[in-house]
Structure 1
Protein backbone atom coordinates (compact mmCIF):
# COMPACT_ATOMS: atom_id res chain seq x y z
CA UNK A 1 0.00 0.00 0.00
CA UNK A 2 1.30 3.42 -0.95
CA UNK A 3 -0.26 6.50 0.59
CA UNK A 4 0.47 10.21 0.54
CA UNK A 5 1.54 11.74 3.86
CA UNK A 6 0.51 15.20 5.16
CA UNK A 7 4.00 16.58 4.39
CA UNK A 8 3.68 15.64 0.69
CA UNK A 9 5.90 12.56 0.80
CA UNK A 10 4.75 8.99 0.17
CA UNK A 11 4.81 5.97 2.46
CA UNK A 12 5.12 2.35 1.37
CA UNK A 13 3.62 -0.09 3.87
CA UNK A 14 3.20 -3.75 2.90
CA UNK A 15 3.99 -7.39 3.68
CA UNK A 16 5.84 -8.87 0.68
CA UNK A 17 5.64 -12.41 2.11
CA UNK A 18 2.14 -12.23 3.52
CA UNK A 19 0.86 -11.45 7.00
CA UNK A 20 3.30 -13.89 8.67
CA UNK A 21 6.34 -12.17 7.15
CA UNK A 22 8.19 -8.93 7.89
CA UNK A 23 6.43 -5.60 7.46
CA UNK A 24 8.19 -3.22 5.07
CA UNK A 25 7.73 0.52 5.71
CA UNK A 26 9.57 3.12 3.66
CA UNK A 27 9.03 6.88 3.16
CA UNK A 28 10.12 8.52 -0.10
CA UNK A 29 9.59 11.82 -1.88
CA UNK A 30 7.63 10.38 -4.81
CA UNK A 31 5.12 7.59 -5.39
CA UNK A 32 7.40 6.25 -8.15
CA UNK A 33 10.24 5.64 -5.68
CA UNK A 34 7.92 3.70 -3.39
CA UNK A 35 6.65 1.65 -6.31
CA UNK A 36 10.22 0.77 -7.33
CA UNK A 37 10.98 -0.49 -3.81
CA UNK A 38 7.80 -2.57 -3.79
CA UNK A 39 8.61 -4.08 -7.19
CA UNK A 40 12.17 -4.85 -6.11
CA UNK A 41 11.01 -6.73 -3.02
CA UNK A 42 8.42 -8.71 -4.96
CA UNK A 43 10.92 -9.64 -7.68
CA UNK A 44 13.34 -11.02 -5.07
CA UNK A 45 10.63 -12.77 -3.07
CA UNK A 46 11.70 -16.22 -4.13
CA UNK A 47 15.41 -15.49 -3.68
CA UNK A 48 15.41 -14.11 -0.14
CA UNK A 49 16.22 -16.26 2.85
CA UNK A 50 13.16 -17.97 4.23
CA UNK A 51 14.40 -19.78 7.35
CA UNK A 52 10.88 -20.18 8.71
CA UNK A 53 10.02 -22.63 5.92
CA UNK A 54 13.02 -24.93 5.77
CA UNK A 55 15.88 -24.02 8.13
CA UNK A 56 16.58 -25.79 11.38
CA UNK A 57 17.35 -23.92 14.57
CA UNK A 58 21.09 -24.64 14.26
CA UNK A 59 21.09 -23.09 10.77
CA UNK A 60 19.30 -20.08 12.17
CA UNK A 61 22.04 -19.69 14.78
CA UNK A 62 24.70 -20.00 12.05
CA UNK A 63 22.98 -17.25 10.04
CA UNK A 64 22.73 -15.04 13.14
CA UNK A 65 26.42 -15.52 13.86
CA UNK A 66 27.50 -14.58 10.32
CA UNK A 67 25.25 -11.53 10.17
CA UNK A 68 25.66 -10.19 13.71
CA UNK A 69 26.97 -12.53 16.40
CA UNK A 70 30.56 -12.49 15.13
CA UNK A 71 30.81 -8.80 16.11
CA UNK A 72 30.09 -9.41 19.81
CA UNK A 73 32.87 -9.27 22.35
CA UNK A 74 32.21 -12.81 23.59
CA UNK A 75 31.18 -14.12 20.16
CA UNK A 76 32.93 -17.51 20.33
CA UNK A 77 31.53 -18.36 23.75
CA UNK A 78 28.07 -17.06 22.85
CA UNK A 79 27.96 -18.97 19.55
CA UNK A 80 29.14 -22.22 21.12
CA UNK A 81 26.75 -21.97 24.04
CA UNK A 82 23.75 -21.14 21.83
CA UNK A 83 24.45 -24.14 19.57
CA UNK A 84 24.65 -26.34 22.67
CA UNK A 85 21.19 -25.12 23.72
CA UNK A 86 19.85 -25.94 20.26
CA UNK A 87 21.38 -29.41 20.43
CA UNK A 88 19.65 -30.06 23.77
CA UNK A 89 16.37 -28.93 22.19
CA UNK A 90 16.79 -31.55 19.45
CA UNK A 91 17.51 -28.97 16.71
CA UNK A 92 13.89 -28.55 15.55
CA UNK A 93 12.83 -26.67 12.43
CA UNK A 94 12.72 -22.95 13.10
CA UNK A 95 9.20 -22.73 11.72
CA UNK A 96 7.78 -25.32 14.11
CA UNK A 97 9.68 -24.26 17.23
CA UNK A 98 7.33 -22.67 19.78
CA UNK A 99 7.38 -21.10 23.21
CA UNK A 100 5.81 -24.30 24.58
CA UNK A 101 8.79 -26.33 23.33
CA UNK A 102 11.20 -24.13 25.23
CA UNK A 103 8.97 -24.08 28.32
CA UNK A 104 9.09 -27.90 28.52
CA UNK A 105 12.85 -27.85 27.91
CA UNK A 106 13.27 -25.27 30.66
CA UNK A 107 11.26 -27.37 33.10
CA UNK A 108 13.65 -30.30 32.70
CA UNK A 109 16.75 -28.13 32.52
CA UNK A 110 15.96 -26.56 35.89
CA UNK A 111 16.62 -29.94 37.48
CA UNK A 112 20.27 -29.65 36.41
CA UNK A 113 21.23 -25.97 36.44
CA UNK A 114 20.48 -22.73 38.25
CA UNK A 115 17.75 -20.23 37.44
CA UNK A 116 20.46 -17.78 36.37
CA UNK A 117 21.74 -20.23 33.74
CA UNK A 118 18.23 -20.73 32.40
CA UNK A 119 17.76 -16.96 32.13
CA UNK A 120 20.98 -16.67 30.10
CA UNK A 121 19.86 -19.44 27.73
CA UNK A 122 16.50 -17.71 27.28
CA UNK A 123 18.15 -14.40 26.38
CA UNK A 124 20.63 -16.01 23.97
CA UNK A 125 17.97 -17.79 21.93
CA UNK A 126 15.61 -14.81 22.04
CA UNK A 127 18.38 -12.58 20.65
CA UNK A 128 18.92 -14.91 17.66
CA UNK A 129 15.31 -14.56 16.52
CA UNK A 130 15.10 -10.85 17.34
CA UNK A 131 18.19 -9.91 15.35
CA UNK A 132 17.27 -11.92 12.25
CA UNK A 133 13.77 -10.45 12.29
CA UNK A 134 15.29 -6.98 12.56
CA UNK A 135 17.56 -7.73 9.58
CA UNK A 136 14.56 -9.08 7.63
CA UNK A 137 16.26 -12.46 7.28
CA UNK A 138 13.55 -14.31 9.20
CA UNK A 139 9.86 -14.00 8.53
CA UNK A 140 7.60 -14.90 11.36
CA UNK A 141 7.22 -14.27 15.07
CA UNK A 142 9.85 -14.62 17.74
CA UNK A 143 8.62 -17.56 19.87
CA UNK A 144 11.09 -16.65 22.61
CA UNK A 145 9.42 -13.25 23.04
CA UNK A 146 6.67 -15.05 24.94
CA UNK A 147 9.14 -16.58 27.42
CA UNK A 148 9.78 -14.46 30.49
CA UNK A 149 12.99 -14.79 32.47
CA UNK A 150 12.72 -15.84 36.10
CA UNK A 151 13.10 -13.25 38.83
CA UNK A 152 16.22 -13.76 40.92
CA UNK A 153 16.59 -12.40 44.44
CA UNK A 154 19.41 -9.89 44.70
CA UNK A 155 22.37 -11.31 46.59
CA UNK A 156 24.48 -9.40 49.07
CA UNK A 157 27.89 -8.76 47.55
CA UNK A 158 30.81 -10.11 49.55
CA UNK A 159 33.82 -7.92 50.27
CA UNK A 160 37.02 -8.20 52.28
CA UNK A 161 37.30 -6.49 55.64
CA UNK A 162 40.29 -4.35 56.61
CA UNK A 163 41.59 -7.32 58.61
CA UNK A 164 41.22 -9.80 55.73
CA UNK A 165 42.97 -7.69 53.09
CA UNK A 166 46.53 -8.00 54.47
CA UNK A 167 45.97 -11.73 55.13
CA UNK A 168 45.04 -12.36 51.51
CA UNK A 169 47.81 -10.16 50.10
CA UNK A 170 50.35 -12.00 52.27
CA UNK A 171 49.27 -15.31 50.75
CA UNK A 172 49.42 -13.80 47.26
CA UNK A 173 52.98 -12.67 47.90
CA UNK A 174 53.94 -16.21 48.92
CA UNK A 175 52.90 -17.51 45.51
CA UNK A 176 55.55 -18.75 43.09
CA UNK A 177 54.08 -16.31 40.59
CA UNK A 178 55.32 -12.97 41.92
CA UNK A 179 52.76 -11.11 39.81
CA UNK A 180 49.81 -12.48 41.82
CA UNK A 181 50.17 -9.92 44.60
CA UNK A 182 50.72 -7.09 42.13
CA UNK A 183 47.53 -7.81 40.19
CA UNK A 184 45.54 -8.24 43.41
CA UNK A 185 46.77 -4.85 44.70
CA UNK A 186 45.89 -3.17 41.41
CA UNK A 187 42.35 -4.58 41.54
CA UNK A 188 41.92 -3.40 45.14
CA UNK A 189 43.19 0.08 44.26
CA UNK A 190 41.20 0.57 41.05
CA UNK A 191 38.12 -1.66 41.08
CA UNK A 192 39.33 -3.30 37.90
CA UNK A 193 38.32 -6.82 36.95
CA UNK A 194 41.05 -9.43 37.30
CA UNK A 195 41.22 -9.94 33.52
CA UNK A 196 41.57 -6.18 32.94
CA UNK A 197 44.41 -5.84 35.44
CA UNK A 198 46.21 -9.08 34.54
CA UNK A 199 46.48 -8.24 30.82
CA UNK A 200 47.64 -4.66 31.39
CA UNK A 201 50.28 -3.43 28.93
CA UNK A 202 53.19 -1.05 29.39
CA UNK A 203 51.32 1.83 27.76
CA UNK A 204 48.34 1.56 30.12
CA UNK A 205 50.18 2.22 33.38
CA UNK A 206 51.16 5.80 34.23
CA UNK A 207 52.62 7.49 37.29
CA UNK A 208 49.27 8.39 38.83
CA UNK A 209 46.66 6.48 36.83
CA UNK A 210 45.85 3.25 35.05
CA UNK A 211 43.92 2.94 31.79
CA UNK A 212 41.67 -0.09 31.29
CA UNK A 213 40.79 -0.82 27.67
CA UNK A 214 39.15 -3.79 25.99
CA UNK A 215 36.72 -3.86 28.91
CA UNK A 216 33.50 -5.86 29.27
CA UNK A 217 31.35 -3.08 27.79
CA UNK A 218 34.04 -1.86 25.38
CA UNK A 219 34.52 1.49 27.14
CA UNK A 220 37.89 2.86 28.23
CA UNK A 221 38.21 3.67 31.94
CA UNK A 222 40.90 5.91 33.44
CA UNK A 223 41.39 5.29 37.16
CA UNK A 224 43.62 7.44 39.43
CA UNK A 225 46.05 5.46 41.59
CA UNK A 226 48.77 6.37 44.09
CA UNK A 227 52.20 7.02 42.49
CA UNK A 228 53.87 4.62 44.91
CA UNK A 229 51.63 1.80 43.67
CA UNK A 230 52.67 2.54 40.10
CA UNK A 231 56.34 2.39 41.11
CA UNK A 232 55.76 -0.94 42.89
CA UNK A 233 53.97 -2.43 39.87
CA UNK A 234 56.70 -1.27 37.50
CA UNK A 235 59.31 -2.89 39.70
CA UNK A 236 57.69 -6.32 39.36
CA UNK A 237 56.54 -6.16 35.76
CA UNK A 238 58.12 -7.35 32.55
CA UNK A 239 60.27 -4.68 30.87
CA UNK A 240 58.24 -4.51 27.65
CA UNK A 241 54.77 -5.21 26.35
CA UNK A 242 52.40 -6.96 28.72
CA UNK A 243 53.22 -6.17 32.36
CA UNK A 244 52.12 -9.32 34.18
CA UNK A 245 52.11 -13.05 33.69
CA UNK A 246 48.87 -15.05 33.94
CA UNK A 247 48.27 -15.61 37.64
CA UNK A 248 44.57 -16.38 38.17
CA UNK A 249 45.24 -19.93 39.38
CA UNK A 250 47.87 -18.56 41.79
CA UNK A 251 45.25 -16.19 43.23
CA UNK A 252 42.76 -19.02 43.64
CA UNK A 253 45.33 -21.03 45.63
CA UNK A 254 46.18 -17.95 47.72
CA UNK A 255 42.49 -17.56 48.65
CA UNK A 256 42.36 -21.23 49.65
CA UNK A 257 45.44 -20.86 51.85
CA UNK A 258 44.07 -17.71 53.48
CA UNK A 259 41.03 -19.56 54.79
CA UNK A 260 38.74 -16.73 53.64
CA UNK A 261 35.35 -18.12 52.59
CA UNK A 262 33.83 -16.51 49.52
CA UNK A 263 30.45 -17.04 47.83
CA UNK A 264 30.40 -19.17 44.68
CA UNK A 265 31.33 -17.15 41.61
CA UNK A 266 32.98 -14.33 43.56
CA UNK A 267 36.62 -15.43 43.59
CA UNK A 268 38.69 -12.66 41.98
CA UNK A 269 35.57 -10.46 41.71
CA UNK A 270 35.69 -10.02 45.48
CA UNK A 271 38.56 -7.56 44.92
CA UNK A 272 36.33 -5.38 42.72
CA UNK A 273 33.53 -5.57 45.30
CA UNK A 274 36.00 -4.72 48.05
CA UNK A 275 37.17 -1.59 46.23
CA UNK A 276 33.58 -0.42 45.64
CA UNK A 277 32.42 -1.24 49.17
CA UNK A 278 35.29 0.51 50.96
CA UNK A 279 35.04 3.45 48.55
CA UNK A 280 31.43 4.00 49.64
CA UNK A 281 32.11 3.32 53.33
CA UNK A 282 34.83 5.98 53.21
CA UNK A 283 32.36 8.57 51.91
CA UNK A 284 32.75 8.18 48.13
CA UNK A 285 30.23 9.49 45.63
CA UNK A 286 27.93 6.93 43.99
CA UNK A 287 28.01 8.66 40.57
CA UNK A 288 31.80 8.73 40.56
CA UNK A 289 31.82 5.05 41.52
CA UNK A 290 29.59 4.30 38.55
CA UNK A 291 32.21 5.79 36.23
CA UNK A 292 35.07 4.06 38.03
CA UNK A 293 33.44 0.65 37.68
CA UNK A 294 32.20 1.32 34.15
CA UNK A 295 28.54 0.54 34.85
CA UNK A 296 26.22 1.78 32.12
CA UNK A 297 23.22 1.51 34.45
CA UNK A 298 23.29 3.30 37.82
CA UNK A 299 21.00 0.63 39.26
CA UNK A 300 23.93 -1.80 39.19
CA UNK A 301 26.14 0.61 41.15
CA UNK A 302 23.36 1.31 43.65
CA UNK A 303 24.04 -2.10 45.20
CA UNK A 304 26.86 -0.38 47.08
CA UNK A 305 24.94 2.74 48.11
CA UNK A 306 23.77 1.38 51.47
CA UNK A 307 27.41 1.18 52.62
CA UNK A 308 27.78 4.95 52.60
CA UNK A 309 27.80 6.48 56.10
CA UNK A 310 25.35 9.12 54.85
CA UNK A 311 22.97 6.70 53.11
CA UNK A 312 19.42 7.27 54.42
CA UNK A 313 20.94 8.93 57.51
CA UNK A 314 17.98 11.28 57.98
CA UNK A 315 15.21 8.72 57.44
CA UNK A 316 14.42 8.30 61.20
CA UNK A 317 14.07 12.08 61.59
CA UNK A 318 11.77 12.44 58.59
CA UNK A 319 9.20 9.81 59.54
CA UNK A 320 5.80 10.91 60.98
CA UNK A 321 6.50 9.12 64.28
CA UNK A 322 7.65 11.91 66.59
CA UNK A 323 9.40 11.62 69.92
CA UNK A 324 6.26 11.97 72.08
CA UNK A 325 4.61 9.05 70.35
CA UNK A 326 7.48 6.55 70.38
CA UNK A 327 6.79 5.26 73.89
CA UNK A 328 3.48 3.73 74.93
CA UNK A 329 2.44 6.06 77.73
CA UNK A 330 -0.30 3.68 78.91
CA UNK A 331 2.18 1.07 80.12
Structure 2
Protein backbone atom coordinates (compact mmCIF):
# COMPACT_ATOMS: atom_id res chain seq x y z
CA UNK A 1 0.00 0.00 0.00
CA UNK A 2 1.74 3.14 -1.21
CA UNK A 3 1.87 6.00 1.28
CA UNK A 4 2.46 9.75 1.08
CA UNK A 5 3.75 11.38 4.26
CA UNK A 6 3.49 15.10 4.95
CA UNK A 7 6.81 16.52 6.17
CA UNK A 8 6.47 18.65 9.28
CA UNK A 9 9.15 21.33 9.18
CA UNK A 10 10.14 24.64 10.72
CA UNK A 11 12.96 27.03 9.86
CA UNK A 12 14.42 24.63 7.31
CA UNK A 13 14.54 21.68 9.71
CA UNK A 14 12.62 18.44 9.44
CA UNK A 15 10.46 17.82 12.51
CA UNK A 16 10.89 14.71 14.65
CA UNK A 17 7.18 13.97 14.28
CA UNK A 18 7.80 13.22 10.61
CA UNK A 19 10.21 10.43 11.50
CA UNK A 20 7.57 8.63 13.58
CA UNK A 21 5.05 9.12 10.79
CA UNK A 22 7.45 7.50 8.30
CA UNK A 23 7.61 4.46 10.59
CA UNK A 24 3.81 4.25 10.64
CA UNK A 25 3.68 4.58 6.84
CA UNK A 26 6.25 1.81 6.40
CA UNK A 27 4.05 -0.49 8.50
CA UNK A 28 1.45 -0.33 5.70
CA UNK A 29 3.80 -2.48 3.66
CA UNK A 30 4.31 -0.35 0.56
CA UNK A 31 6.64 2.34 -0.72
CA UNK A 32 6.89 5.49 1.40
CA UNK A 33 7.14 8.91 -0.23
CA UNK A 34 7.45 12.22 1.62
CA UNK A 35 5.94 15.52 0.52
CA UNK A 36 7.75 18.73 1.42
CA UNK A 37 5.61 21.82 0.86
CA UNK A 38 7.49 25.05 1.42
CA UNK A 39 9.40 27.77 -0.38
CA UNK A 40 12.95 28.45 -1.50
CA UNK A 41 16.14 27.30 0.17
CA UNK A 42 14.43 26.26 3.39
CA UNK A 43 12.15 23.85 1.54
CA UNK A 44 15.13 22.44 -0.36
CA UNK A 45 17.02 21.87 2.91
CA UNK A 46 14.04 20.00 4.35
CA UNK A 47 13.72 17.90 1.19
CA UNK A 48 17.41 16.98 1.37
CA UNK A 49 16.97 15.97 5.03
CA UNK A 50 13.86 13.92 4.20
CA UNK A 51 15.79 12.12 1.45
CA UNK A 52 18.27 10.87 4.05
CA UNK A 53 15.56 9.33 6.28
CA UNK A 54 15.77 5.55 6.33
CA UNK A 55 12.82 3.90 4.59
CA UNK A 56 11.88 6.83 2.36
CA UNK A 57 11.95 5.94 -1.34
CA UNK A 58 11.18 9.33 -2.84
CA UNK A 59 10.73 12.94 -1.79
CA UNK A 60 8.31 15.25 -3.56
CA UNK A 61 9.23 18.93 -3.30
CA UNK A 62 6.56 21.57 -3.88
CA UNK A 63 8.39 24.88 -3.67
CA UNK A 64 6.11 27.87 -4.01
CA UNK A 65 5.49 31.10 -2.11
CA UNK A 66 1.95 29.83 -1.45
CA UNK A 67 3.41 27.11 0.81
CA UNK A 68 5.90 29.24 2.75
CA UNK A 69 3.63 29.33 5.83
CA UNK A 70 2.13 25.86 5.18
CA UNK A 71 -1.39 27.24 5.19
CA UNK A 72 -3.81 24.32 5.21
CA UNK A 73 -6.08 25.96 2.63
CA UNK A 74 -3.20 25.91 0.13
CA UNK A 75 -1.46 22.64 1.07
CA UNK A 76 -4.58 20.43 1.18
CA UNK A 77 -5.47 20.85 -2.55
CA UNK A 78 -1.85 20.06 -3.42
CA UNK A 79 -2.01 16.79 -1.49
CA UNK A 80 -5.43 15.85 -2.85
CA UNK A 81 -4.11 16.31 -6.38
CA UNK A 82 -1.22 13.95 -5.69
CA UNK A 83 -3.34 11.21 -4.12
CA UNK A 84 -4.18 9.57 -7.46
CA UNK A 85 -0.83 7.83 -7.13
CA UNK A 86 -1.15 6.77 -3.49
CA UNK A 87 -3.33 4.56 -1.32
CA UNK A 88 -2.76 6.42 1.95
CA UNK A 89 -1.91 9.89 3.20
CA UNK A 90 -0.33 10.24 6.64
CA UNK A 91 0.37 13.38 8.66
CA UNK A 92 1.76 13.81 12.17
CA UNK A 93 -0.94 14.49 14.76
CA UNK A 94 0.49 17.96 15.40
CA UNK A 95 -1.12 21.35 15.03
CA UNK A 96 -0.12 21.48 11.37
CA UNK A 97 -1.11 17.89 10.61
CA UNK A 98 -4.46 18.21 12.36
CA UNK A 99 -5.15 21.35 10.34
CA UNK A 100 -4.33 19.87 6.95
CA UNK A 101 -5.49 16.24 7.12
CA UNK A 102 -9.25 16.88 7.61
CA UNK A 103 -9.26 19.13 4.56
CA UNK A 104 -7.53 16.43 2.51
CA UNK A 105 -10.12 13.89 3.69
CA UNK A 106 -12.95 16.23 2.71
CA UNK A 107 -11.48 16.82 -0.75
CA UNK A 108 -11.12 13.06 -1.26
CA UNK A 109 -14.57 12.41 0.26
CA UNK A 110 -13.25 9.83 2.73
CA UNK A 111 -13.32 9.39 6.51
CA UNK A 112 -10.20 10.43 8.39
CA UNK A 113 -8.77 8.12 11.05
CA UNK A 114 -7.22 10.32 13.73
CA UNK A 115 -4.35 9.81 16.16
CA UNK A 116 -3.55 6.20 15.25
CA UNK A 117 -1.44 4.24 17.75
CA UNK A 118 -0.64 1.13 15.71
CA UNK A 119 -1.12 -0.50 12.33
CA UNK A 120 -2.94 -3.82 12.70
CA UNK A 121 -3.57 -4.51 9.02
CA UNK A 122 -3.73 -2.82 5.60
CA UNK A 123 -6.78 -0.82 6.68
CA UNK A 124 -7.00 -1.65 10.38
CA UNK A 125 -5.64 0.58 13.12
CA UNK A 126 -5.91 1.32 16.83
CA UNK A 127 -6.67 4.76 18.19
CA UNK A 128 -7.53 6.23 21.61
CA UNK A 129 -11.07 7.12 22.64
CA UNK A 130 -12.58 8.54 25.85
CA UNK A 131 -9.50 10.71 26.49
CA UNK A 132 -7.24 7.69 26.09
CA UNK A 133 -9.05 5.56 28.66
CA UNK A 134 -9.94 3.02 25.99
CA UNK A 135 -8.30 1.91 22.76
CA UNK A 136 -10.53 1.25 19.75
CA UNK A 137 -9.64 -0.97 16.81
CA UNK A 138 -11.05 0.58 13.65
CA UNK A 139 -11.13 -0.51 10.02
CA UNK A 140 -11.58 1.79 7.06
CA UNK A 141 -13.81 0.90 4.13
CA UNK A 142 -12.65 3.81 1.97
CA UNK A 143 -10.56 3.44 -1.16
CA UNK A 144 -8.06 6.02 0.12
CA UNK A 145 -6.78 6.34 3.68
CA UNK A 146 -6.23 9.66 5.47
CA UNK A 147 -4.47 9.17 8.80
CA UNK A 148 -2.97 11.32 11.52
CA UNK A 149 -0.27 9.60 13.55
CA UNK A 150 0.46 9.98 17.26
CA UNK A 151 4.22 10.42 17.19
CA UNK A 152 4.83 9.05 20.68
CA UNK A 153 3.30 5.68 19.71
CA UNK A 154 5.83 4.85 16.97
CA UNK A 155 9.60 4.55 16.96
CA UNK A 156 11.30 7.31 15.01
CA UNK A 157 12.81 6.30 11.69
CA UNK A 158 16.54 6.92 11.49
CA UNK A 159 17.30 10.42 10.19
CA UNK A 160 20.30 9.04 8.31
CA UNK A 161 20.87 6.07 6.06
CA UNK A 162 18.38 6.77 3.28
CA UNK A 163 19.19 7.84 -0.25
CA UNK A 164 15.88 8.86 -1.77
CA UNK A 165 15.62 10.98 -4.88
CA UNK A 166 14.07 14.45 -4.74
CA UNK A 167 11.51 15.27 -7.41
CA UNK A 168 9.94 18.67 -7.91
CA UNK A 169 6.16 18.74 -8.30
CA UNK A 170 3.95 21.55 -9.51
CA UNK A 171 1.85 23.23 -6.86
CA UNK A 172 -1.75 24.34 -7.04
CA UNK A 173 -0.84 27.87 -5.94
CA UNK A 174 -2.66 30.19 -3.59
CA UNK A 175 -6.29 29.20 -3.05
CA UNK A 176 -7.08 32.74 -1.92
CA UNK A 177 -8.96 31.53 1.15
CA UNK A 178 -6.49 32.64 3.81
CA UNK A 179 -3.39 34.74 4.27
CA UNK A 180 -0.41 34.58 6.61
CA UNK A 181 -0.32 37.56 8.96
CA UNK A 182 2.49 36.66 11.35
CA UNK A 183 3.90 34.10 13.75
CA UNK A 184 4.27 34.75 17.46
CA UNK A 185 6.35 31.75 18.50
CA UNK A 186 7.99 31.05 21.82
CA UNK A 187 11.78 30.97 21.45
CA UNK A 188 13.61 28.63 23.79
CA UNK A 189 16.96 26.89 24.06
CA UNK A 190 15.26 24.00 25.83
CA UNK A 191 14.45 20.68 24.12
CA UNK A 192 11.24 20.56 22.08
CA UNK A 193 8.44 19.49 24.41
CA UNK A 194 7.21 16.59 22.25
CA UNK A 195 10.68 15.10 21.74
CA UNK A 196 12.34 15.84 25.13
CA UNK A 197 13.57 12.90 27.21
CA UNK A 198 12.72 14.72 30.45
CA UNK A 199 9.73 17.00 31.04
CA UNK A 200 8.94 19.02 34.15
CA UNK A 201 5.34 20.25 34.24
CA UNK A 202 3.59 22.60 36.63
CA UNK A 203 -0.06 23.04 37.50
CA UNK A 204 -2.44 25.65 38.85
CA UNK A 205 -1.11 25.16 42.38
CA UNK A 206 1.88 27.34 41.43
CA UNK A 207 -0.33 30.44 41.91
CA UNK A 208 1.07 32.77 39.20
CA UNK A 209 3.58 33.09 36.35
CA UNK A 210 6.36 34.42 38.61
CA UNK A 211 6.00 31.51 41.04
CA UNK A 212 5.89 29.03 38.17
CA UNK A 213 9.16 30.45 36.84
CA UNK A 214 10.82 30.49 40.25
CA UNK A 215 9.90 26.89 41.15
CA UNK A 216 9.86 24.96 37.86
CA UNK A 217 12.65 26.60 35.83
CA UNK A 218 15.56 25.86 38.21
CA UNK A 219 14.57 22.18 38.39
CA UNK A 220 14.23 21.96 34.61
CA UNK A 221 17.61 23.66 34.19
CA UNK A 222 19.30 21.13 36.46
CA UNK A 223 17.78 18.22 34.55
CA UNK A 224 18.14 19.71 31.05
CA UNK A 225 14.41 19.22 30.71
CA UNK A 226 11.61 20.71 28.67
CA UNK A 227 8.93 22.62 30.57
CA UNK A 228 5.25 21.74 30.35
CA UNK A 229 2.07 22.94 32.00
CA UNK A 230 -1.43 21.74 32.69
CA UNK A 231 -4.35 23.32 30.90
CA UNK A 232 -5.39 25.04 34.13
CA UNK A 233 -1.96 26.66 34.41
CA UNK A 234 -2.07 27.78 30.79
CA UNK A 235 -5.61 29.13 31.12
CA UNK A 236 -4.53 31.06 34.22
CA UNK A 237 -1.75 32.69 32.20
CA UNK A 238 1.21 31.07 33.95
CA UNK A 239 2.64 29.78 30.66
CA UNK A 240 1.90 30.17 26.91
CA UNK A 241 -0.26 27.68 25.02
CA UNK A 242 2.83 26.07 23.46
CA UNK A 243 3.63 24.55 26.85
CA UNK A 244 0.29 22.82 27.41
CA UNK A 245 0.39 19.06 27.88
CA UNK A 246 -2.86 17.18 27.51
CA UNK A 247 -5.64 16.07 25.20
CA UNK A 248 -6.05 19.58 23.77
CA UNK A 249 -2.35 20.35 24.07
CA UNK A 250 0.73 18.31 23.27
CA UNK A 251 1.09 14.56 23.70
CA UNK A 252 4.38 13.63 25.32
CA UNK A 253 6.04 10.34 26.27
CA UNK A 254 9.45 11.19 27.76
CA UNK A 255 11.71 8.87 29.75
CA UNK A 256 10.92 10.95 32.84
CA UNK A 257 7.86 13.14 33.49
CA UNK A 258 7.74 15.19 36.69
CA UNK A 259 4.30 16.60 37.54
CA UNK A 260 4.45 19.41 40.09
CA UNK A 261 1.23 20.66 41.64
CA UNK A 262 -0.89 18.88 39.01
CA UNK A 263 -3.99 17.11 40.28
CA UNK A 264 -4.26 14.78 37.29
CA UNK A 265 -7.44 15.62 35.39
CA UNK A 266 -8.32 13.14 32.63
CA UNK A 267 -7.50 15.78 30.02
CA UNK A 268 -3.94 16.08 31.31
CA UNK A 269 -3.40 12.35 31.86
CA UNK A 270 -4.30 11.71 28.23
CA UNK A 271 -1.26 13.75 27.20
CA UNK A 272 1.42 12.20 29.43
CA UNK A 273 0.43 8.81 30.83
CA UNK A 274 2.57 6.96 28.27
CA UNK A 275 5.72 8.44 29.85
CA UNK A 276 8.16 5.75 30.92
CA UNK A 277 8.55 7.05 34.50
CA UNK A 278 6.08 9.47 36.10
CA UNK A 279 6.93 11.35 39.29
CA UNK A 280 4.16 13.32 41.01
CA UNK A 281 4.57 15.96 43.72
CA UNK A 282 1.29 17.09 45.28
CA UNK A 283 0.13 17.82 48.81
CA UNK A 284 -3.26 16.17 48.17
CA UNK A 285 -2.76 12.44 48.75
CA UNK A 286 -6.04 11.71 46.95
CA UNK A 287 -5.03 13.52 43.74
CA UNK A 288 -5.74 11.35 40.65
CA UNK A 289 -2.17 11.91 39.40
CA UNK A 290 -0.95 9.40 42.00
CA UNK A 291 -2.94 6.63 40.28
CA UNK A 292 -0.66 6.79 37.24
CA UNK A 293 2.55 7.89 38.96
CA UNK A 294 5.44 5.47 39.39
CA UNK A 295 6.74 7.60 42.25
CA UNK A 296 4.53 9.89 44.33
CA UNK A 297 5.55 12.44 46.92
CA UNK A 298 2.80 13.84 49.15
CA UNK A 299 4.37 17.14 50.13
CA UNK A 300 4.15 20.90 49.79
CA UNK A 301 5.75 21.65 46.42
CA UNK A 302 7.17 24.94 47.75
CA UNK A 303 9.38 22.92 50.10
CA UNK A 304 9.90 19.72 48.12
CA UNK A 305 10.87 21.15 44.73
CA UNK A 306 13.54 23.61 45.92
CA UNK A 307 14.99 20.84 48.12
CA UNK A 308 15.07 18.45 45.18
CA UNK A 309 16.65 21.10 42.97
CA UNK A 310 19.28 21.84 45.58
CA UNK A 311 20.33 18.19 45.82
CA UNK A 312 20.75 17.69 42.06
TM-score range (shorter-chain normalised) is under 0.3
Compare CA radii of gyration and give the structure with the larger one. Answer: 1
Normalising by structure 1, we get a TM-score of: 0.19
Between Structure 1 and Structure 2, the one with more helix by share is 1
Greater fraction of residues in strand: 2
